[in-house]
A and B are shown apart, each in its own frame.
Chain A
Amino acid sequence: MSELGRLEQFLRTDPRDVGCDEAMVVLHIYVDLVAADQDAAGRYPGVAAHLMACGPCGEDFAGLLLAVTSG
């Protein structure tokens, strides 16, 4: 990705983004859908948008997904 592309991506905001509080309320549901190969982003587009944009919530998502899929 070009330098301008990286900056553009950082500054881009998605109006569907639900924010941290709403995303964390349903994180366990979202993770179970992802773990079951279901359409989590289709069911929760605002959560998907948020997890793409928010580093800390994205880390929580990655950690929880790893926890439930690692046995």
Chain B
Amino acid sequence: MRAEAAASAGSLSGVEPARLPTEDLDEESAGWLRRLGAVGGERHAAERELHARLVRIALAEVRRRAASTPVTGPELDDVAHQAAGDAMLAILAKLGDFRGESRFTTWAYRFVILEVSGKLGRHYWRNPPVALDAGQWERLPDRLGIDPERHAESAGILAEVRRVVEGELTSHQRRIFVAIVVDGIPLDALAAELGLRRNAIYKVIFDARRKIRRALVANGYLEEPGLEQR
């Protein structure tokens, strides 16, 4: 639902905010909580102001990320408006979770930034530049910034990386590593497609990086570093 429509239809006002003690907050944050916890016109005005800010931030954020997403044009703006609307609803529903550890606006803006990330990930699959499980190994040198034509040693390293991926990773690890690192699918897009959390994907890549590095060290391609040993 577009947030303007939600706001004009009054559905945002259906979310009852929690009332918080505001004495320990900075003046601006306390003001936001007081206004959003009020009734009638004051609360509606605060909601309209916050929503307008969320829309502005979401539009700026999708444009900042435009080069890294296949989503373009009006669809990109629509993502921003959807993100602002959904963030607004989440903020109002979770006002009681705000503990004053940051400014209220920073806490609130986090919702819209994360909504933009999630929605761009889901919209990726409407016009994906590469299919899931494409396995474009020929593009790995570019992704890793390696030119095997210039250095014979680089060709050996790339072959070792592929050997570890295909021979030592589990099928789940291999599928995710190939999608993210070899095919360049955005992590949030893969998370949306596989129904996994961002953190689950990241952990798989994290473990794969360690496993590959250890193999490269064991076979003399890289020196023992120390930092990642645990």
Within 8 A of A (CB), among B148-179: 150-151, 153-154, 157
A20 touches B199 (CB 8 A): yes
| Residues of B96-148 whose CB lies within 8 A of A | 101-103, 105-107, 109-110, 112-114, 116-117, 144-147
A27 to B147, CA, bound (A): 37
Q: Could you say which of A3, A11, A29 contacts B213, with CB atoms under 8 Å apart?
A: A11
Task: Please determine whether A59 and B213 come into contact, CB atoms closer than 8 angstroms.
Answer: no
Are A28 and B199 also in contact (CB < 8 A) when A3-B147, A11-B216, A13-B228 are?
no
Closest to B209 in A: A11
Which residue of B has the minimal Cβ distance to A33? Answer: B102
Provide the A49-71 mask, 1 if CB < 8 A to any CB of B, else 0.
00001111101101110111010
Q: Give the distance in Å from the alpha carbon of A62 to the alpha carbon of B116 in the complex.
A: 13
Q: Are B106 and A28 in touch, CB under 8 angstroms?
A: yes
Q: How far is the CB of A65 from chain B (nearest CB, A)?
A: 9
User: Is there an interface contact between B209 and A64, defined as CB atoms closer than 8 Å?
Assistant: no
Tally of B interface residues using CB under 8 Å: 47
Which interface class (under 10, 10 to 19, 20 to 34, 35 or more) fits A?
A: 35 or more
Q: Are B187 and A32 in contact (CB under 8 A)?
A: no
- Shortest CB-to-CB span from A16 to chain B, Å, is 9
A10 to B227, CA, bound (A): 13
Whether A56 lies near B187 (C-beta < 8 A) is yes
State in angstroms the CA–CA spacing of A59 and B199 once bound together: 15
- By a CB distance below 8 angstroms, the chain A residues around B187 are 54-56
A13 and B206 contacting across the interface, CB-CB below 8 Å = yes
- Please report the C-alpha to C-alpha distance between residue A21 and residue B202 in the assembled complex, in whole angstroms: 10
Stretch from B3-11, B13-21, B34-42, B57-65 contacting the other chain:
B57-65
Complex Cα spacing A25 to B57, Å: 20
Which residues B55-79 have CB closer than 8 A to chain A?
57, 60-61, 64-65, 68
- Asked if residues B154 and A68 are in contact (CB atoms below 8 Å), the reply is no
> Which residues of the other chain, A, contact B60 by a CB distance below 8 angstroms?
66-67, 70
User: A24 and B114: CB pair below 8 A?
Assistant: yes
| A57 → B minimal CB distance (Å) | 8
Compute how far the CA of A20 lies from the CA of B170 in the bound complex, rounded to whole angstroms: 22
Choose from A19, A60, A70 the contact partner of B202 (Cβ within 8 Å).
Answer: A19
| Alpha-carbon separation in the docked complex, A29 to B147 (Å) | 41
Nearest CB in chain A: distance from B49 CB, A: 14
Residue numbers of B with Cβ under 8 A of A are 57, 60-61, 64-65, 68, 101-103, 105-107, 109-110, 112-114, 116-117, 144-147, 150-151, 153-154, 157, 186-188, 197-199, 202-203, 206, 209-210, 212-213, 216, 222, 225, 227-228, 230
